[in-house]
Amino acid sequence: MNNNIDPKLNWLKNIPKRAGDLYFSLCESKGNAIHKNEFQAYVFDAGLTSIDFRLKNFFEMLDSMGETINFEEFINLMNLGGLLIERALRGELAVPDFKKFSNNLDKIYDEVIDNKSGELANYIPPLAEVNPEQFGIAVVTADGQVYQRGDTNVDFSIQSMCKPFNYCIAIEELGLEKVNEHVGAEPSGRLFNDLTLMMRNMVSENLSSDSKIPFNPMVNPGAIMTTSLIKSKSSTTERLNYVREQIGKSIGWDSEGKSGIDIPRFNKNMARQENFKGYNNIAAGFLLMATGNIPYSDSTLPKDKLANDKYDYDFYFEPAVTDALKVYFSLCSLEMTAKDVAVAAATLANGGVCPLTQQRVFGQKTIRDVLPVVQTSGMYNSSGQFFQEIGLPSKSGVGGGILLVVPKVMGICIFSPRLDLAGNSVRGIEVARKITSKYLVHIFDSTMTDIDRVDPRLKIAKWRANNCGEAIWAASYGDVRTLEKLLGQQRDLKYGNYDIRTPLHLASAEGQLDVVKFLLENGVKPIPDRWGGYPISDARNNNHLEIVDEFLKLDIDYSEPFHLIEEPNGKTDKIEKYDDELAIIEFLFAASENDVDGLRQLVAKGIPINVGDKDSRTSLHLAAAEGSLEAVKYLINHGHPLSVRDRWGATPLDEAIREKRQHVIEYIKELSK
């Protein structure tokens, strides 16, 4: 239970390599123990929280431990944390760089909070009286990573955000075919309270071809319609509670109360106000009755209940429609926190399984049927534009909430009550816009090769590696076909790696004349690398004279690279090889950006610490050249040798000296004493 693990203890031989690599990556230094506080910070940085009930036992055990964790204790902990903790530590959760992602969301929050435009919904007092300044962003990933900022734990009225869930629940109960008979899946391009119903142009046995149904379940007539289908034989209270429980399951509620999460609260006053002022919705309900959409049975007609007066009779409202309206008003009046809505959205993103409980709430097929309708109609009359711009299934409510679903990745809820003219939260829309301008999450971003934005599904270092790695390796191997493909994808082939070594540099160093010609013909310009060297120097140094001639044809004033090598004949340490070439590039990118988490996660996956790229550059060269002291320390503490030499013979210390990285120079010199 202390640090006294013998550094030479060959635990790597006796225990599974996987666990060993993970433990090694987390230790402060080789053969040492893990610091509990740091370990906890890694888990939190990955987006997992101590209130996550999946991790209850794990955190209890962690709490009971001393300041350091030895290997045996680590294995016990991992037995409780399971694959979830392991994946978190290896950077393999739905959003692997959760810390960076959170920092970016913080920035977005700080930018958007100044936007005070828009008006509160004012058609009923309980909405008109909310604090307009409220603002919260919550994100929950398919792996249950949680981000929260601002007012994410206050209840607010979900209003129309109930609609996707009602639609799911109706489909689960009756099947898509039946539901489709009553409500369409066509965008209406209309306001949520529009009373237009569309002509039905499909012929079915029961309905004539010109019967009318609501456009879709996201506008009010459609939502009232779907509500009328849910548990239609039960009392309104039972129906309301049934939906609360279904939504409850999607936010992690369980009937035994294990998770400590409650079903959505019902605001009765809100529902009554909706009822008092809800003439438009009442009209929509009766329209649905008139068009024969709301199912009811004639037997409920009170045939002999006539009033006594000879001129009077009891005015009759069919309960099928008043009940549907009552349940609809009630569902709009449910209250949830932004965090809970984000979990519910994550359940949709996760194919119907709540990421916090792993319970299936809706069938996969239901989700696949519902999300397209949310995508095309969820933002009312701005749905088309929203789809084009943001490209995510989204649903807003006049309570100020917007939920967004990034399929397979995450659910997002933004809450801020001031609304635009279409009834969508102003700040909510702005946040959504900023998220898509930073991250490749628009569903059609899969066709983009945009390197200014980042894919949240990938680690930053991996993302960078992907963007240059393939071209660089293809160039050095003479693989023109791959370069053709990349060019066709509009990849920027002049883009270099962490040393601004570009495909042209590598092709020149390796004597790949065809590649050099191909790149030049396609307009790729030679640019200087980290040392001011152009590809022509690589060709010259490696005696590839035909390539030198190619570059001389261009009208460029080539500077010479400056490499500093203090002791060319000094000691030389071994550089390791590794099969996964992209992982090497990723590792070196992480080192250059002082991304210690990125380094740690690759070490956890078993990458040799002193692995080198095509120029024999190692992570330590990069960390030293960039002055990334934390990365330098991590690498050296984990056994990176000091006297590795790159293609030109330079050691990491040479690099630090050349780039004048004083802290790094001092640190390495101190060690070499």
Q: Is residue 667 within 8 Å of 595, Cβ to Cβ?
A: no
- Minimum Å gap between C-beta 237 and ligand GLN is 19
DSSP 8-state code for residue 54:
G
- Minimum Å gap between C-beta 158 and ligand GLN is 8
Hey, what amino acid is at 654?
D
Q: If we measure between CA atoms, which residue out of 171, 153, 155, 151 comes closest to residue 163?
A: 171
Instruction: Looking at residues 214 to 233 of the shown chain, list those that interact with ligand GLN (rule: CB under 6 A).
Output: 220
Q: Is residue 644 within 8 Å of 651, Cβ to Cβ?
A: yes
Cβ proximity to ligand GLN: between 192 and 387 the closer is: 192
Binding-site member from 70, 145, 152, 159 for ligand GLN (CB under 6 A): 159
Task: Provide the mask over 261-290, with x wherever binding to ligand GLN is found by CB under 6 A and - wherever it is not.
Answer: -------------x------x---------
Cβ proximity to ligand GLN: between 378 and 612 the closer is: 378
- Minimum Å gap between C-beta 261 and ligand GLN is 24
Query: Distance between CA 160 and CA 429 in Å, rounded?
Result: 16
Orientation of helix 162-174 relative to helix 220-229, angle to 10°: 40
- Minimum Å gap between C-beta 125 and ligand GLN is 13
Query: Distance between CA 609 and CA 599 in Å, rounded?
Result: 9
Cβ proximity to ligand GLN: between 332 and 591 the closer is: 332
Here the tokens at position 399 are: 């309570």
- Minimum Å gap between C-beta 220 and ligand GLN is 5
Here the tokens at position 387 are: 């789809």
Instruction: Looking at residues 352 to 411 of the shown chain, list those that interact with ligand GLN (rule: CB under 6 A).
Output: 397-398
- Minimum Å gap between C-beta 192 and ligand GLN is 4
By CB under 6 A, residue 423 contacts ligand GLN = yes
Query: Distance between CA 29 and CA 518 in Å, rounded?
Result: 47
Cβ proximity to ligand GLN: between 32 and 228 the closer is: 228
Cβ proximity to ligand GLN: between 27 and 169 the closer is: 169
Cβ proximity to ligand GLN: between 356 and 429 the closer is: 429
Instruction: Looking at residues 290 to 349 of the shown chain, list those that interact with ligand GLN (rule: CB under 6 A).
Output: 332
SS3 476: helix
- Minimum Å gap between C-beta 418 and ligand GLN is 14
* Binding-residue total with ligand GLN (CB under 6 A): 11
Cβ proximity to ligand GLN: between 382 and 628 the closer is: 382
- Minimum Å gap between C-beta 391 and ligand GLN is 21
Query: Distance between CA 472 and CA 435 in Å, rounded?
Result: 30
Q: Is residue 419 within 8 Å of 119, Cβ to Cβ?
A: yes
End-to-end CA distance of the chain: give it in Å, rounded: 33
- Minimum Å gap between C-beta 223 and ligand GLN is 7
Query: Residue 589's beta-bridge partner residues?
Result: none
Here the tokens at position 90 are: 């290896």
Q: Is residue 355 within 8 Å of 405, Cβ to Cβ?
A: no
Q: Is residue 443 within 8 Å of 407, Cβ to Cβ?
A: yes
Query: Residue 395's beta-bridge partner residues?
Result: 403
DSSP 8-state code for residue 317:
-
Cβ proximity to ligand GLN: between 158 and 346 the closer is: 158
Instruction: Looking at residues 524 to 583 of the shown chain, list those that interact with ligand GLN (rule: CB under 6 A).
Output: none
Return residues touching ligand GLN (CB under 6 A): 159-160, 192-193, 220, 274, 281, 332, 397-398, 423
